[in-house]
Amino acid sequence: MPIYENTLYPAPFFLPGGHAQTLYPAFFRTLEVPASAVQRITTPDNDFLDIDFHYVMPGYPQKRLAIISHGLEGNSKRSYVKGMVRALLKAGWDAVAWNFRGCSGSLNRTLHMYNSGSTEDLKSVVNFCAGRGYEEIVLIGFSMGGNQILKYLGDPDEIVHPNIQASVVFSVPCDLVGAAKAMDKSSNAIYLKNFMRTLKEKMLQKHELFPERVDVTRLNEVKTFRDFDETYTAPWYGYKDAMEYWKKSSSVQFLDRVRIPTLLMNARNDPFLCPTCYPTGQAHRSKNLYLETPAEGGHIGFVRISDDDYYWSEIRAVEFLGQVFGWY
């Protein structure tokens, strides 16, 4: 499918570079969306997921639904999630923003949390929503949430729900090995420190629930994603080590098998990504993967200053879905 290296996205002149475009929304974007109906669903392992339902017309569900997956240590209340919800509602889509385990503000009951390659919880949300009568479902994902979606859609061992018609993902670390190396750069220290802070807090909470299974004696020595994944993620999920976890969970290896129209948009100046996170070869070969790699945008940035306050990612998602469903 087409590869667009230079889309029409123009970064604001006062946000030069990927770091400024990444940080601006987190600090300066505030917006409100219609009140959500919070639903807690039970997972097959008797844990729970908290999901926010947003309706075009409360009390009158549409037949069309978008399921939105946030990024690492995000949640359904992040500005990039709310911005996407608002844009989709205006376009006539009901929207569900779901929280990964441990990200809704409530500590989950089981040892497991979430990881880049885990798709079981995404499937639980899809099945629940399809069971409520939604006939056309699309998946929208950011960063880690986007990697999960791409892996789910392309993994030969997965059975993709037939109601899923399209997907749109942004700022996806398709190659987790390379992305982990990128995050070790000194220029990314501020982001890594923040991720480690919140992940360590969750490990302390898990230790209180499972003192014999969660060792926190060396928690202060955990400084990088390799440290964290070697200590916790890999052993919890049956991987030999962090490298095996990253390799098996990277969505780049599954892109050739994606069978529904999918837009992947990764900015060239995204500080979290490495060269192998721009899968041009797979996009050239695929009938379903559309790749856009604008020069600007940062990580989950794509800031756009306008009266309507829609960001470029939101505009492109609605446009792409309109093309897939033949609206224009």
Q: What would the pLDDT profile of 124-145 be if each residue is shown by its tens digit?
A: 999 999 999 999 999 999 999 9
Q: Which of 51-60, 118-127, 187-196 has the lowest mean pLDDT?
A: 51-60
Q: How far apart are CA 256 and CA 287, in angstroms?
A: 9
Confidence of residue 296 (pLDDT cuts 50, 70, 90): very high
- The neighbour count for residue 139, using CB atoms within 10 Å, is 28
Q: How far apart are CA 64 and CA 165, in angstroms?
A: 10
Residue 327 pLDDT > 70: no
Tell me what the mean pLDDT of segment 195-220 comes to. Answer: 96
Contacts of residue 2, defined as CB under 8 A and 6 or more positions apart, other chains included, come to 283, 290, 291
Q: How far apart are CA 38 and CA 50, in angstroms?
A: 7
- Residues 221/227, Cβ–Cβ less than 8 Å: yes
Which CATH number applies to 3-175+258-324?
3.40.50.1820
Q: Which amino acid is at 160?
A: V
For residue 269 the two structure tokens come to 């100046």
Strands 48-54 and 94-98, sheet pairing: antiparallel
Q: How far apart are CA 1 and CA 52, in angstroms?
A: 33
Domain extent listing, the chain: 3-175+258-324, 177-249
Residue 328 pLDDT > 60: no
Percent of the chain scored above 70 by pLDDT?
97
